[in-house]
Amino acid sequence: MKVLITGIAGFIGYFVSKKLIEKDFYIVGIDNINDYYSPELKYLRLEKLGISKENINYGYKTKSNKYQNLDFIKINLEDRSGIEKIFKEESFDYVIHLAAQAGVRYSLKYPFKYIDSNINGFMTILEGVRNNNVKHFIFASSSSVYGANKKTPFSENDRVDNPVSLYAATKKSNELMAYTYSHLFGIPSTGLRFFTVYGPLGRPDMAYFKFTNAIFNDREIEVYNFGKMKRDFTYIDDIVEGVFRLIQKVPENDNITTAPFKVYNIGNNHPVELLYFIEILEREIGKTAKKKFLPIQAGDVVETYADISELEKAVGFRPTTSIEEGLKRFVDWYKGEYMSLKAGLC
């Protein structure tokens, strides 16, 4: 089976690709390796997949020197003719669309990057799927679509009409766009609402990574909403397992939604208080954080909490990695590989 994975140099994209490669899927990965955070960390992930930075040329296929069943193409999602060419040449069975302009607060400063990537780029991928007989289209949504919903845990059946950031609005838009194409053209589509993904080789813009950097270097950490926040932190291995199990769980038309379309939460189903989260990091690092307590930021929500009963019912899976174990693995990676490579990464 041949799979297109967009955002392969990203955090989730790298780990999903690694899993599928090991399961003997043939992977074509694409990424534009943008500078939202250090491209060197993205190149490090690609290097681990056998894709050498020196061999990458925009628009051309780079073969892995480690895996025979992996090719990489550097390309922008908005490059319509380039993406169309890839679809026509490769004949994908499945498409896993993980590429996006990430970040809630970044969307307040650079809104057009979110429209270019998350709306126009998403449409480019949707058109590729529509015109090339893809068996299943899987795409990354986000827990941010729940906005400031008060009812917890968040269920896929809840209304999601009040996003509190442009990033969240683009993710909700993706769900609507995918549903429309599913309804009009019969494209089996699954949206995945990820809840605060963390782990080794993760994103340096995320709180756990920023806090770890600051604590190690005796810098102050900014604790928003005076620490009264909760997040449903989900370890990367659990995210990957959920994605893997859903690949061949192809939605069918249920005569209610009039489309072969499903959305699933993938979260830990166990929100963690921010101050306890920091306490675990302090314990694993062996240092006490210098905390600066601040009001909540624009675009932030107080709590995320996933109802994962639909995921469990569909594929018999629920995440198992505790926050204590997950952060220990992250800090061990940070102390080891990351510290040895830190210069130039972030």
Please list the active-site residues: 167
Q: Are 290 and 221 in contact (CB under 8 A)?
A: yes
Residue carrying structure tokens 């990489």: 72
What tokens were used for 11? 């955090």
φ/ψ of 258, rounded to 5, equals 60, 25
Q: Are 248 and 319 in contact (CB under 8 A)?
A: no
Q: For residues 137 and 98, what is the distance between their CA atoms, to the nearest angstrom?
A: 11
CB atoms within 10 A of CB 186: 12
φ/ψ of 108, rounded to 5, equals -75, -30
Q: Are 165 and 108 in contact (CB under 8 A)?
A: yes
Element containing residue 224 per DSSP (H, E): strand 220-224
Q: Are 251 and 314 in contact (CB under 8 A)?
A: no
- With b for 16 or more beta-carbon neighbours within 10 A and e for fewer, the 196-211 pattern comes to bbbbbbbbbbbbbbbb
Element containing residue 73 per DSSP (H, E): strand 70-74
Angle at 190 between CA 23 and CA 266, to 5 degrees: 75
Q: Are 7 and 100 in contact (CB under 8 A)?
A: yes
What tokens were used for 300? 């932030």
Q: Are 237 and 329 in contact (CB under 8 A)?
A: no
With 0-12 / 13-18 / 19 or more C-beta atoms within 10 angstroms meaning exposed / middle / buried, residue 118 is: buried
Q: For residues 311 and 18, what is the distance between their CA atoms, to the nearest angstrom?
A: 22
Of 119, 123, 125, give the one whose Cα is nearest residue 31: 125
